[in-house]
Amino acid sequence: MKYIKLTKQVTLLILIFSVSSCTNQETNHTSQITREITINEDSFGEEYPAVFLDLKNNSLMIYSKDLTVINADLWIEPKDPEIAGLTKESGGMEHVGEDVLLRIIDKNLSDKDISSLDLNTFQRKLDKSKIKAGLVFAVMASDNSLYKVKIISFTQSEQEIKLEHQKIK
């Protein structure tokens, strides 16, 4: 009788542990939201065909010569093309947060492997010749968050680029 009672208790503990593990995996999975943003001629102001992208809020900031403070991560100019991380002083404007760094990565690299990349291998901007649909790159953002970014589509002549990004850590 004691053996049956002990077996039921062990089974109950295993069941509780299994349910709790599944819940944690689900929570971790749902916290990694993939976001998309399209940048095109409608995104630009009248002064210059480029924008600042804030990855955390998935929002664009229009370039203006009157800007004094930038709270974003990337400078994106589809026509040039250029994708660059913002630094403490970007074009005479004060950048909020840390310098932003980028690195082209293999599209099949796991989140764990991306998280362990050496920051000394990151750069301030992407090589223009590499900017095309399908390119995947890591971004160490201004708030020290790490993002995986993929160029979904890119048409230089139409000044349009569609990005997908996901926070890794």
110-146 CB burial, b ≥16 within 10 A, e <16: eeeebeeeeeeebeeebeeeebeeebbbbbbbbeeeb
Task: Give the pLDDT score at 120.
Answer: 96
Q: What percent of the chain has pLDDT over 90?
A: 71
The model's pTM is 0.79
Q: Which residue has the higher pLDDT, 160 or 32?
A: 160
What does the domain layout of the chain look like in residue ranges?
Answer: 1-31, 34-167
Task: Give the pLDDT score at 125.
Answer: 96
pLDDT tens-digit profile of 102-116? 999 998 999 999 999
pLDDT confidence bin for 1, thresholds 50/70/90: low
